[in-house]
Amino acid sequence: MAKTKTLEDLFHDTLKDIYYAERRILKALPKMKRAARSEDLKAAFEKHQEETEGQVERLRQVFEILGKSARGKTCEAIEGLISEGEEIIEEFKDAPALDAGLISAAQAVEHYEIARYGTLKRWARELGMKDAAKLLDETLRQEAKTDDDLTKLAERTVNEAALETATA
């Protein structure tokens, strides 16, 4: 008879998913930075790359708490989101709306991460893994701040620059 899957199994499976996603994001961020037209957006991508390196390290710590090795499993959701971002880079290359599209793609990734980290944090608490929950909460707060910062950047300059050029 097959072993019944538990919340801890689901937690571990989802942890592998987000670990893969974060490492994949680390590979995508330099390309997004190079594609960005705005220096502010380039700086935001660079800052998030540094933060993501720390997030990967925190995930490794959560794996240690679980007594498991840090291994990812292919995350089709992040592959799709990154693919959409790459399409924007290709289709809007040298276009005034490129940065607005890059922010949109980056926020889609952020929203995915926020959903995953929120769920993992809740499950860690329910499983009595206070240290893991604290690590996951730190990343969750960081992802939410990045999303907010991207919104502010879009509203402050990027969307307006794309709109002005389109109507000029």
Q: Per the domain annotation, does 28 fall within a domain?
A: yes
Tokens of 58: 């925190």
Asked if pLDDT for residue 168 goes beyond 70, the answer is: no
Q: Per the domain annotation, does 1 fall within a domain?
A: no
Instruction: Report, as an integer, the average pLDDT of 63-91.
Output: 97
Asked if pLDDT for residue 165 goes beyond 70, the answer is: no
Q: Please write the tens of the pLDDT for every residue from 30-73.
A: 999 999 999 999 999 999 999 999 999 999 999 999 999 999 99
Instruction: Report, as an integer, the average pLDDT of 96-120.
Output: 97
Q: What is the pLDDT at residue 143?
A: 97
First to last CA, the chain: 69
Number of domains forming the structure of the chain: 1
Asked if pLDDT for residue 145 goes beyond 60, the answer is: yes
Residue 22 burial (10 A CB sphere; 0-12, 13-18, 19+):
buried
Task: Identify the band that residue 162 occupies on the pLDDT scale cut at 50, 70 and 90.
Answer: confident
Instruction: Report, as an integer, the average pLDDT of 85-105.
Output: 94
Q: Please write the tens of the pLDDT for every residue from 8-37.
A: 999 999 999 999 999 999 999 999 999 999
Q: Per the domain annotation, does 64 fall within a domain?
A: yes
Asked if pLDDT for residue 166 goes beyond 60, the answer is: no
Q: Per the domain annotation, does 110 fall within a domain?
A: yes
Range of the structural domain that residue 58 is part of: 7-167
Task: Identify the band that residue 167 occupies on the pLDDT scale cut at 50, 70 and 90.
Answer: low
Q: Per the domain annotation, does 2 fall within a domain?
A: no
The pTM assigned to this predicted structure is 0.92
Give how far Cα 98 sits from Cα of 68, 79, 88, 106, 159, Å: 41, 20, 7, 12, 10
* CATH number, domain containing residue 95: 1.20.1260.10
Q: What is the pLDDT at residue 110?
A: 97
- CA–CA gap between residue 7 and residue 59 (Å, rounded): 18
Q: Per the domain annotation, does 36 fall within a domain?
A: yes
Q: Per the domain annotation, does 33 fall within a domain?
A: yes
Q: What are phi and psi for residue 121, nearest 5 degrees?
A: -60, -45
